[in-house]
Chains A and B, each alone.
Chain A
Amino acid sequence: NAGVMQNPRHLVRRRGQEARLRCSPMKGHSHVYWYRQLPEEGLKFMVYLQKENIIDESGMPKERFSAEFPKEGPSILRIQQVVRGDSAAYFCASSPPGQLSETQYFGPGTRLLVL
């Protein structure tokens, strides 16, 4: 059973470009979470999605950031018009449907560098 997959692993963008980060959850997992890790910081929750639904996006910046988890295909975190402050590691996690004792399994992350 493959783990959570993220691609690309590294992404370099110039200011003003768009960044698209993809996350394929573990097989059987229908819940996806995105976290951002700024340099020398812990991970910060961004958004929680289920298939075709955004459940909680309270951690997402109000502008330029969006996320989706379509019925088919991976979850996408999209950052429009990137700025240098967006440089960070973006981690995706997934968990199976259920409650209480389920645990989030993390992918290897996408390291975004904005020049």
Chain B
Amino acid sequence: AQSVTQPDIHITVSEGASLELRCNYSYGATPYLFWYVQSPGQGLQLLLKYFSGDTLVQGIKGFEAEFKRSQSSFNLRKPSVHWSDAAEYFCAVDYSGGSNYKLTFGKGTLLTVNP
């Protein structure tokens, strides 16, 4: 079955530290990949997406993600975390071959930022 795995349920980092959130997907071909952020009580905001081309994609708020086909991974990174980054982060995959619906989401990683 097609799935998205976010191995880390909860991560705590100190403000100013670097961050990497992991995401693995199961599929043979290259899917379309997304990272969303959800602040408490809010909807999801798109951070970045990968469809094709350069495997390192830049997003909003200083985030980037790297697609690694050999590892079926699409990890999210940020070099220096700010307190306002505390939120829940969801990796999502479009397995529909680019028609862009029926996104499959991971269970999310909750990020806590210590001062």
Contact = CB atoms under 8 A, between A and B. Distances in A.
A56 B102 contact: yes
A35 B44 CA distance: 11
A99 B42 contact: no
B44 A91 contact: yes
A99 B90 contact: no
A45 B105 CA distance: 9
B76 to A, nearest CB: 15
Contacts of A4: 43
Interface string B76-115: 0000000000000010100000111111111110000000
Interface residues of B, number: 24
Contacts of A104: 100-101, 103
A29 to B, nearest CB: 12
B49 to A, nearest CB: 6
B104 A45 contact: yes
A8 B42 CA distance: 13
Interface residues of A, number: 29
B10 to A, nearest CB: 11
B43 A108 contact: yes
A91 B38 CA distance: 12
Contacts of B43: 4, 6, 91, 106-109
Interface in A61-110: 91, 95, 99-109
Interface of B: 4, 34, 36, 41-46, 49, 51, 90, 92, 98-108
Report, nearest first, the 3 A-B pairs whose CB atoms are least far apart.
Answer: A42-B105, A108-B43, A106-B44
